[in-house]
Structure 1
Amino acid sequence: MTDDTGDTDTAAGDASDSAAGDASDSAAGDASDSAAGDASDSAAGDAAEDFSLDRFHEALEAEERPVATASEVARRLGTSQAAARDALAALVDRGDVDRLDVESDPVVFFPTDWGRLATRERVVAFPDRREIVVDRPTQFTRARLSQFAHLVDTTGTDPGTRGYLYRIRQEDVWAAPFEDADGLIASLRSVLPRRFEHLEEWIRDQWRRAHRFRLYTHEDGYVVLQAASESLMGNVADQHLDDDHLRAPISETEAWVNEDAVAAVKRALYDAGYPVEDDRDLDVGDPVDIDLTTDLRGYQETWVETFLDARSGVYVGPPGSGKTVAAIATIAAVGGETLILVPSRELAGQWREELLEHSTIDPADIGLYHGGRKEIRPVTIATYQIAGMDRHRALFDSRKWGLICFDEAHHISSPVYSRTAELQTKHRLGLSATPVRETGSEEEIYTLIGRPIGADWDELFEAGFVQEPEVEIRYVPWRDEMARNEYASADGRERRRLAAENPAKIEEVRYLLAAHRDKKALVFIEYLDQGEAIADALGVPFISGETPHRERAELFRRFRDDGGESDSDRDDVDALVVSRVGDEGIDLPNAELAIVASGLGGSRRQGSQRAGRTMRPAGSALVYVLATRGSSEEEFAQRQMRHLARKGIRVRETNVAE
């Protein structure tokens, strides 16, 4: 903070500043009164009368701090320090402003309402930094902010008292799910205490940026890049695109694009701050005979309509929101042969079942293309691993695909990215609960596939389409002295492993399973030794990448099964310990309880996937995250759960007793 004595505001500072720096508040007031009297009592009174609470708020916003000294207020409002101090004193007398002695400044001032709101939501905007701080945010506020702002950090440890720091980045504005800038601005105004013209103008400018370049198909069949102005083509496109990206200029605002470089053009301009609208004529592919047999929910219909209008995009929604059904509806609406890319063989088989359940497709028209089978059919389901291999190029070349569907779309920046030339001519649909990568390369998803399309998680919770999970971080102590000492003497990666495998977690898992014995449970682990130890201690199956495919499929089937009519007939499994094989894509609708025993060093996406295993249309949903107290796991747990909090999910924290 800036000290009152550091200001040099004309004659008022000669006596007032010295007194403020050397004496207590009362002495500062005496000196201030004396200085004010020297300058003129009536002038000071007039200044105080003109100084409103709104003017004080303006000073705080300019200072970008929630509190300010009299000298800082004077500097920001262009008045003398004496006049500012008298005006603040008048506001204090009226009860509009409070004053506080702090160690580094004689006196700081803040609006009284902020103190009164200590037990309620508080929203403070810093428009110059494009940041919004929210204490005790409501679910409504978190949901609105998640549409156009990035959650940077959270503070506080007690349940219900966290503060959230959001930042509005240009890519957040570009990807915001609104028809126009007015819709985005309306959402912004719904959460901020008042309007901020400068911030709103910046948002409108970013929105305009997202509509300054477009790709379209010329009547002669080639691809054209069109800029909104001659200067954009000359100063932006020409400077950021390589020579082989464009074949030749057509006019001052248009250029002939090398069709193999479409993805590179889009990525280069995105990096330059100008996302490209893609209005090209895309391949439709040979017809495929398929109709949807399941009624769509309202938001799913909106997803499909939005996709058909844009012809590319990523359906974003929590597990259980029906992204796969919406994708099948999209396949039927596009009506062309389709390639579906998935991360695992289990998910390939699951997709086949979903297609047969929700559409009229002939089973003979569905092909599986992975390590065990190599079938290419009108609708082919392949793994990303196979699709990224050069020797399987026939997968891309053998049919005229009209639609490419990327399930778990964050995998797109794997070797499949090398197929950009083949992919860019098709309709492109991505599915993901959280299209985020820790490397910050989410732009690769949006430039290669398309913009996000999706309902707010909160809207699905409120409408009852998806059960909102209860998430709790449980900080587990060291109970084994030998394990504690081994951790203390280790460093680096070994420390992380030891914290993850804290033996006390086994008993905590046992306690949680016993407390919820009526619920189907998944226990997630990172290290195989720990998985085996928990499985042995609890007498439940352990599934990892080493588990044979047939055995894995059978265990998943038994987990989904409700069993027979009597206990003696039951062959179902109520709990599974799973490694990363359970993170993505495995449909386990009976999972009512998830316990994350380790793996907290993973990505935000992994945290969402694991928590998401319990998000289903009905029934209770519980997620417990175990973190060794006093270790880096505390930070990792908070980071992963912060991403869920951004989606509107409430997260609480508990310290487990020694």
Structure 2
Amino acid sequence: MMHNLHERPIIVQSDLLVLLDESKPMAQQAREKLVLFMDAVKRAGSIHTYRMTLLTLWNAAAAGITADEVVGLLTKYGRYELPFQAEATIRKLIGRYGKLWLSSESGKLMLHGEASIIDEVITHQSIMSCVTMRSEATACELNDSCRGALKQELTRLGYPVIDLAGYHLGEELAIQLKNRTLSDRSFVLREYQQAAVELFYKEGTVQGGSGVIVLPCGAGKTIVGIAALARLGRATLILTSNSTSVKQWKDELLDKTSLTDPEVGQYCGTLRQVRPVTIATYNMLTHRKSKDAPFTHMKLFSERDWGLIIYDEVHLLPAPVFRMTADIQATRRLGLTATLVREDGCAEDVYSLIGPKQYDMQWKTAEAGSYIASVSCTEIRVPLHANKEALYAQASARSKLRLAAENPGKIPVVQQLLREHAGKPTLIIGQYLNQLHELSAELGAPLLTGEVPHQERQQLYDRFKSGQISVLIVSKVANFAVDLPDAAVAIQLSGSFGSRQEEAQRIGRLLRPKAGSNRAWFYTIVTDQTKETEFALKRQLFMLEQGYQYERLSLPHNKNEVAEAAAQ
């Protein structure tokens, strides 16, 4: 029990911003609770700023967290009395969850809710255009084709709707998970994977069948998707981020289920295989010949009677796929991701069209269970190279960031880190191709970018996995869905501005469990006293929210001391 109020770690503001003081006792314990119903916004020194929003509170409500529990936690860890306005807003927003719901009655799509709420929402033309008849004070009959658009619009208006209208079954598929013994490359669902599948499926009731599962990189999101597919036993369309991931999904399906090669199709590159289980890329679906032309391959959504659509890396879902998803709300939908963070503000669409967050495992929880590797994160700040100082002083804001990111002074630090971790499988990751090509020539290490043909790309992955090469330089093409389980060290040279999502995904390349100490190391090299330091703080927010700490090492501005300082 905390007797001294001034030692409590959080301050709650009336606008739903929450300040967490890391220097206070129980700050880590408070953070573990806060992330259940709020998002990180920024940090300044030991003060971390979080915000409660419509979506964070509704996702919490969908997970069974009540307004009383949220208020209780904020009171328990709060330094001051919870502002009345904040408490009232929390209770109002969580109280809206479950007040509107959809059902299917005699083949008709119906919207139900309290009469006063129905009265309020149908004053909006965007909602009224979906209504075919107000059958009673607490129910409206809807146009079937409006199911997705209505859910989107109600979410934007501040009224989440629970979809109980059910799903069509889809084409039946004979599939079973393979049963293996511990001596035969054991494949047994972990307890949390089984729990995630059960929460998604909900015993086949109308309450199950749509939603998002959030698991750390390396914790087996693909396995959860495969288990959900096997549980449903229906034809399935799997959408993922790139052709490498398509192959990985197929390999896992053939390895861990009774499916045979002719039953699993790949729809990417030159392949156009539409089979009972079909795996396609987002890029393929959004391809068109010109800006005004129709999407060439969006017809894939209707080419088979799918019973399930799996959205891998759902945080990457592009806008055209959202629009198609709005039209297929009668098909079960499963989103998989390591982070629901979206930098484009489309998190509402994930919630309304894919479904609420059904399961979320904290990264440190997975680490404690040895399901993922323990990662040490270090930010190394280096001075701007003397030859770039005058150019930097005169550059625009955007050019300043690139100059800082491509700072030649980072190269000696990379070389020192490679010496320090000699022999460990290491990824060097960057944003700018010129920088990566120069580093590749300097180190004599292979470079993998989007320019590399798929077959050659796969050969590099295979050589890295087998240990033939210990250092691989990669562009952002390796941010997502690349299975390099043995990578133990990652060195980040540059990134996409302040992308929290990208930082998490890059660290995720290291999280596969490791033999022995089960340790990994992530280094981000940042040019000191430049715009890059601001973006570095933003990039680190998600990992800080998950309980990770970045050790900061600032190298001297005397370049003769840089290598010596890096060694320390």
With structure 2 as the length reference, what TM-score do the two structures score? 0.88
Flag the 1:126–1:411 CA change in 2: closer, same or farther, 3 A.
Answer: closer
How far off is 1:421 after superposition?
A: 4.3
Cα separation, partners in 2 of 1:282 and 1:151, compared to 1, 3 Å: same
Query: What is the distance in 2 between the residues matched to 1:237 and 1:371?
Result: 46
Structure 1 residue 413: Cα displacement: 3.3
Name the CA distance, whole Å, in 2 between partners of 1:548 and 1:174. Answer: 44
Local SS of the residue matching 1:630: coil
Residue 375 of structure 2 is matched in structure 1 by 469
SS of the residue 2:239 aligns to: strand
**Of 353, 356, 360, which residue of structure 2 is paired with 1:454?**
360
1:652 equivalenced with 2:551 (yes/no):
yes
Shift of 1:350: 0.7
Q: Deviations over 1:236-292 (max 9, x none)?
A: 233263443222222212112222221211111111111110111112211112122
Please state if 1:607 is matched with 2:512.
no
Displacement after TM superposition at 1:186 (Å): 5.4
- 1:559 lines up with 2:457 in the alignment: no
Letter in 2 for 1:593: V
Measured in 2, the distance between the counterparts of 1:295 and 1:238 equals 52
Counterpart Cα distance in 1 of 2:125 and 2:422: 60
In 2, are the aligned partners of 1:468 and 1:649 still within 8 Å (CA)? no
Render the CA deviation track for 1:596-620: whole Å, top value 9, x for unaligned.
Answer: 1011515211111112111123321
- 1:169 equivalenced with 2:56 (yes/no): no
Q: Which 10-residue stretch deviates more, 284-293 or 441-450?
A: 284-293
Displacement of 1:230 in angstroms is 0.9
Asked if 1 retains the 8 angstrom alpha-carbon contact of 2:229 and 2:236, the reply is: yes
C-alpha deviation, 1:215, in angstroms: 1.0
Give the residue type in structure 1 aligned to 2:97: A
Instruction: State the secondary structure of the residue aligned to 1:238.
Output: coil
Q: Map 1:239-638 to 2 at 5 A.
A: 239=124, 241-293=126-178, 294-309=187-202, 310-389=208-287, 390-452=295-357, 453-478=359-384, 480-562=385-467, 572-618=468-514, 619-638=518-537
Which whole-Å deviations, capped at 9, do the CAs of 1:303-354 have from their partners, x for residues lacking one? 1111112211111121011111011100011111000001111110011011
Alignment size in residue pairs: 526
State the match for 1:155 in structure 2: 44
CA contact (8 A) 1:540 1:576 kept: yes
Alpha carbons 2:215, 2:221 under 8 Å: kept: yes
Cα pair 1:240 1:272 within 8 Å, conserved: no
Which structure: greater helix fraction?
A: 1
1:364 positional shift: 1.4
Question: Per-residue displacement from partner, 1:130-175 (whole Å, max 9, x unpaired)?
Answer: 333222264332221111122122111xxxxx22122222321101
Change (3 A) 1:287 1:189: farther
Larger radius of gyration: 1
- 2-side partners of 1:557 and 1:592: how far apart? 16
Check the 8 A contact 1:240/1:269 in 2, yes or no: no
Deviation, 1:207, is: 1.8
Identify the residue that residue 139 of structure 1 maps to in structure 2: 28
SS at match of 2:410: helix
Q: C-alpha separation between the residues in 2 aligned to 1:193 and 1:304?
A: 39
- Give, in angstroms, the shift of residue 623 of structure 1: 0.9
Does residue 215 (structure 1) correspond to residue 121 (structure 2)? The answer is no
Q: Secondary structure at the match of 1:318?
A: coil
> Cα distance, 1:394 vs. partner?
3.7
SS state of the match for residue 473, structure 1? strand
Q: CA deviation at 1:630?
A: 1.1
Of 86, 99, 120, the residue aligned with 1:235 is 120
Work out whether residues 282 and 425 of structure 1, in 8 Å CA contact, stay in contact via their aligned partners in 2. Answer: yes
Q: Retained in 1: the 8 A contact 2:12–2:74?
A: no
Bigger RCO of structures 1 and 2 (CA < 8 A, at least 6 apart): 2
Residue of structure 2 in register with 1:18 after alignment: none
Letter in structure 1 aligned against 2:545: R
Shift of 1:559: 1.0
Relative to 1, partners in 2 of residues 1:334 and 1:273: Cα closer, same or farther, differing over 3 Å? same
Tell me what 1:205 maps to. 92
> Given that residues 488 and 519 in structure 2 are in contact (C-alpha distance below 8 angstroms), is that contact kept between their aligned partners in structure 1?
yes
CA apart distance, 1:123: 1.3
* Residue pair 1:365, 1:377 contacting (<8 A) in 2 also: yes
* Contact 1:526–1:598 (8 Å) recurs in 2: yes
Counterpart Cα distance in 1 of 2:73 and 2:429 = 37
Equivalent residue letter for 1:129: D
CA distance in 1, matches of 2:131, 2:445: 60
Deviations 1:416-468 (A, max 9, x none): 12313443111110111112222222111111101112222222122222223
Flag the 1:423–1:329 CA change in 2: closer, same or farther, 3 A.
Answer: same
1:190-216: CA deviation from partner (whole Å, max 9, x where unpaired): 544687484555433322211111111
What secondary structure does 1:591 align onto? coil
CA–CA distance in structure 2, aligned partners of residues 315 and 512 of structure 1: 36
Is the 2:10–2:77 Cα contact (8 Å) retained in structure 1? no
Secondary structure at 2:296's aligned position in 1?
Answer: helix
Q: For 1:190 and 1:263, how far apart are their aligned partners in 2?
A: 39
Q: Is the 1:535–1:542 Cα contact (8 Å) retained in structure 2? A: yes
Distance in 2 between residues matched to 1:463 and 1:200, nearest whole Å: 35
TM-score (norm 1): 0.76
Q: Read off the aligned partner of 1:433 and give its amino acid letter.
A: A
Partner in structure 2 of residue 49 of structure 1: none
| Cα offsets for 1:378-410 (capped at 9, x unmatched) | 000011122235332441222110100001102
Amino acid of the residue matched to residue 159 of structure 2? Y
Q: Is contact 2:497-2:535 (8 Å) kept?
A: yes
Structure 2: stretches of 5+ with no match in the other structure:
179-186, 203-207, 288-294, 558-568
Confirm whether residue 123 of structure 1 aligns to residue 9 of structure 2. yes
One-letter amino acid of the structure 1 residue matched with residue 529 of structure 2: G
Once residues 189 and 305 of structure 1 are traced to their aligned partners in structure 2, the CA distance between those partners, rounded to angstroms, is 33
- 2-structure distance, mates of 1:581, 1:613: 12
Name the Cα RMSD after superposition: 2.2
In 1, Cα distance between the equivalents of 2:519 and 2:544? 18
- The range that moved more, 134-143 or 294-303, is 134-143
